[in-house]
Amino acid sequence: MPKPTLFERLKLQAEEAALPRALRYSPRLRAVLLGCTVVLCGLFFPWHFEQFPPRWTPSAHTIGSRWQGPPLYAEYPFVVYKPVEQYERQRREAMDSVPPVFLPDATAERAALEQLRAMLDSLRTGFLPLRFDNSILWSRLTPAEHSRAIAQLQQVLEQLLRWLYRAGVLDIPLQSIPNSHVLVQLSAVEHRRIPVAQLLDSSRAFRIAVEAFAALPDQRLRSIGMELFERLFRPNLFYSAEHTERLRQAAAAAVPRTLGFVRAGELIVAPGDLITDTLAAKLWSYPQARLLQPQPQLQLLLQQVVGNFGHAGLVCAILFIYLAFLRRRIFRDNWQLAGLSSALVLTAAMSWGSLRLEPLPAEYLILLPAVSMAVAILLDSRTAFYTTVTAALLVAGVRGGDYSTGVALMLGGMLAAYTVRDIESRAQLFRSMFFIAVGLVLAIVLLGIGHGTELRTILLRSTFALGNAVVSPIATFGVLLLLERFFNITTDMQLQQYTTLEHPLLQELQQKAPGTYQHSLNVAHLAEMAARAIGARTVLVRVGAYFHDIGKLTKPEYFAENQIGLDNKHDRLPPHKSAAIIREHVTEGIELARAYRLPPQIVDLIPQHHGTMLIRAFWNKALEQARRQGTPPPSEEDFRYPGPKPQTKEAAILMLADAAEALSHVIPHNEPEALAAALDRAIHERILDGQFDECPLSFRELRRVRDALLNGLRGLQHPRVAYEQQPAQ
């Protein structure tokens, strides 16, 4: 079985890719994509179905700023709820303010004194065992000294124990009590509050005992007295964790959840009022209280659904309408539309997440500048502008109308997009850090001053904005690297490495086909001028022009630009054979480009720069031959390039630049009118042949391309002054 040709394989691949291509441009899939974008963004807008008391955040009503809206009057009475953070802080403070509770042992003093008398009686009879050292000391006392020692010990110990128990001795160290007072429970409902400074613990009680026995003149009695004290002493106030926790919970429950009450018709806020904690709580509680008004739950649900999804739909429509009318190529491409939709959903998600990090100004860490930069690099700066505006409005909407944050991120995103408009290297991404920082910080400072925000708050927001300025370019770099490596998306940064003419294919082309090499350089010059005239990707058309004819390397002598001083080999070949050789330079070029791993967008330009054009010279020759021989005319398809037709503006520009460069070698330089007429005929021929039916090139842009090519041709054909030779002397 013969091996299929490259043309047959390309045709098979095109048939296999028909389904993905149909999905890529499917109107139904596009409608689903737009709907999903609106729904997903709407889910991140604030919903008000949480249980009361509601959780509120001051994002839209920044404390310390001035109210910028109209006067606001209460349409209905409502309760003003405290912020959750404030309420929880007050609960903790109330719980921490509750002193620990101790349960007294009323029998401790009596039991200790009774035990003391029993121990002294045993000591008199010699039946009380003492420590070894004290036992020796006691045995050396005379009977008279025994009686006197027992009397002294009884007097000191009784006085000491009565004083200690009446003062109160705790069973836990004093250092472990954070409060200045403790509570001693007298009954189930009665407590006595005692300063900690008046109480004792075990270590302090022992120090007092040492001082008390130091008054005894006899060292032997001091040692024996301390041993007896150690045996007798026990605390009389015992800590109760259960009773303490019960009082703590009661104190926390007593903290009021509300700040006050607003009557119907009462002025809530006037223009220019300083937003305090209390006023911010009113502004948040007012819309929440609407849910308490008597109305059906179904109506509340309907209001929330229509309000949130409608809000999200209006904001997203800014970008979608722009794409539908001014960037139809992007709008019809579901893959590119999905990328932009994902950027909007990601921005809404980051905005929602920033609300969960308050009171930190995490909203200034939303990576909207990174989104703007990525769209500007992958698509164009105007699309990046509309994407930035839409994303900034989404941020403001998700955060409950946070106008200040939306403006700051919008300005930072726009500057980010414009700084990478003509990016040529990855290092240029980091240059945009400065402009992002300027945009964000400038908006924060000016809006902060206008709203009367505290300097400390402005500095904190600016610090977060500077972090965003650093992270956004790095994130953009990572996204571009991912797209280039795993999704076959070619950026201008990647194409820059092919603009040096040092590529092995171009070096080989210069050696084996110098005419084609010079033709490619001329086409690159013309195409770049035309691309710049309509805002197309200049780097892509220039690199594409360098490689568009590399397929001629296999048989360079069959192409006119390389036949300098050589016979035309096509004079000895039948027309269909010549057409096949000419057509093969497209398929051979694709093979070479893939073998050298050129970026996919460059490979695509190789077949598209000829489209499905008719190889007219050999077609006319075949028709003339058939007429002379009286045979049926040949099939026109055998004399057409394999295609596809140009799919992008860059491919269309390359097609016209290739044709224009060929005309420069046919029309004399002193006939500019003839050159313009020939170029118009070439453009008209391709329009009638439908070569531009599948690319987004408008007639106005086509006119600009024509003018740019004509100016470029005049530069290529500029005449030189012929200098007379100096006569011989």
Instruction: Report if residue 31 sits inside a domain.
Output: no
Burial 359-380 (b: 16+ CB within 10 A, else e): eebbbbbbbbbbbbbbbbbbbb
- The answer to whether the beta carbons of residues 239 and 61 sit under 8 Å apart is no
Last residue of some domain: 202, 235, 250?
250
Take residue 471 and report the two structure tokens written for it: 């992270």
Maximal CA-CA distance, the chain: 162
**Of 89, 644, 589, 114, nearest to 359 (Cα)?**
89
Give the pLDDT of residue 720: 47
Q: Which residue in this structure is represented by tokens 């033709």?
A: 519
Q: Which of 227, 250, 273 is the last residue of a domain?
A: 250
Question: What is the Cα–Cα distance from 105 to 82, expressed in whole angstroms?
Answer: 43
pLDDT means over runs of 10, the chain (729 residues): 48 47 82 94 76 41 67 83 84 92 91 87 74 64 77 87 91 90 87 91 90 81 83 90 92 89 86 80 76 58 82 94 88 89 94 86 92 86 92 91 88 89 63 89 88 84 93 85 68 76 88 89 92 88 92 83 69 82 88 87 90 87 82 84 88 93 78 86 92 87 92 69 48
492 falls within a domain: no
Query: What pLDDT, on a 0 to 100 scale, did the predictor assign at position 486?
Result: 62
Q: What pLDDT score was predicted for residue 719?
A: 52
661 lies in some domain: yes
Give the pLDDT score at 10: 46
682 backbone dihedrals φ, ψ, rounded to 5°: -65, -40
Q: What angle do CA 158, 160, 166 make, to 5 degrees?
A: 100
> Strand 101-104 relative to strand 181-185: parallel, antiparallel, unpaired?
parallel
**Residue of 662, 711, 430, 658 whose CA lies nearest to 561:** 662
What gap in Å lies between CA 612 and CA 690, rounded to an integer? 9
Q: Are 461 and 364 in contact (CB under 8 A)?
A: yes
On the question of a cis peptide bond just before residue 20, with omega within 30 degrees of 0, the verdict is no
Q: What is the pLDDT of residue 149?
A: 79
Rounded to whole angstroms, how far apart are CA atoms 482 and 486? 6
Task: Write out the two tokens for 466.
Answer: 């500077």
Nearest to 380, CA basis, from 696, 706, 704, 705: 696
pTM score, two decimals?
A: 0.59
**Beta strand extents in 46-96 (DSSP E only):** 72-73, 78-81
The closest of 560, 547, 609, 549 to 584, measured between CA atoms, is 549
Dihedral pair phi/psi, residue 714, rounded to 5°: -65, -35
Give the span between the Cα atoms of 83 and 258, in whole angstroms: 9
Confidence (pLDDT) at 222:
81
- Predicted local distance difference test score (pLDDT) of residue 60: 45
The answer to whether residue 552 is domain-embedded is yes
Listed residues 212, 231, 250: the one ending a domain: 250
pLDDT of the residue at 14: 45
Q: How many CB atoms within 10 Å of residue 429? A: 23
- Is 610 part of a structural domain of the chain? yes
Q: How many CA atoms lie within 13 A of 20 on its CB side?
A: 6
Could you give the angle at which helices 514-534 and 649-663 cross, rounded to 10 degrees? 130
Q: Which of 462, 351, 357, 449 is nearest to 400 (CA)?
A: 351
What's the rounded Cα separation, in Å, for the pair 554 and 585?
A: 8
Q: How many domains does the chain have?
A: 2
Q: Is residue 566 part of a domain?
A: yes
State the residue range of the domain holding 648. 502-716
- CATH number at 681 reads 1.10.3210
**R_g over Cα of the chain:** 46
In this structure, is residue 147 part of a structural domain? yes
Tokens of 194: 């005692």
Is 195 among the domain residues? Answer: yes
Three-state DSSP state, 5: coil
pLDDT attached to residue 403: 83
